[in-house]
Amino acid sequence: MEVADLAPHPWNTSFTWKESRARSGQLSAEQVEAFDRDGFVVLPAVFSAAELAPVIEALDAHEAESDAFLKMMDGDRLSIAESGAIVFGIHPLVKYPTAKAFAAHPV
C-alpha cells in the first residue's frame, strides 16, 4: 500500500500536505523528497544504542504515565487521546532532562 492510497482520518477535514521547500541543512534532496512522499525519513546510524537508551526509557515512562491517566477517564479517553492508541501528555522535554538534551542535539 502506498501512502497516497491511505484515506484521511474522518476528523481531517481541511489539512493538505505541502511539499517541503528546498533549503540547506542536514538532509539531502533525496531525503526531503522521501519525506514528502512517505511522511518520514530514516537517518541510519545517526545515534548509537547507548545514546538512545536513556531517551527511550524516559519516553516510555512518559507514555506509561499518560496512559495511566487516560485509563482513569470515562471511556479511557480525553478528547483525541485514547489509552493504548493515541497518548498525549505534557511535553516530555519539560519533564525529562534526557529528552530535552536529546532534542537539543545538532542533528
Give pLDDT tens digits for 23-38.
Answer: 667 788 888 888 888 8
**Residue 10 counted as domain residue:** no
Domain of residue 69: give its range.
49-103
Q: Could you give the CA distance from residue 82 to residue 47 in angstroms, rounded to a whole number?
A: 30
DSSP symbol at 25: S
**Residue 88 counted as domain residue:** yes
Tally of domains within the chain: 1
Please write the tens of the pLDDT for every residue from 44-100.
Answer: 888 999 999 999 999 999 889 888 888 988 998 888 888 888 777 778 888 889 999
Q: Could you give the CA distance from residue 79 to residue 5 in angstroms, rounded to a whole number?
A: 27
Q: Residue 52: how many CA atoms within 13 Å on its side-chain side? A: 6
**Residue 21 counted as domain residue:** no
Q: CB under 8 Å, gap of 24 or more: what pairs does 43-50 form? A: 43/107, 46/107, 47/105, 47/107
**Residue 22 counted as domain residue:** no
**Residue 35 counted as domain residue:** no
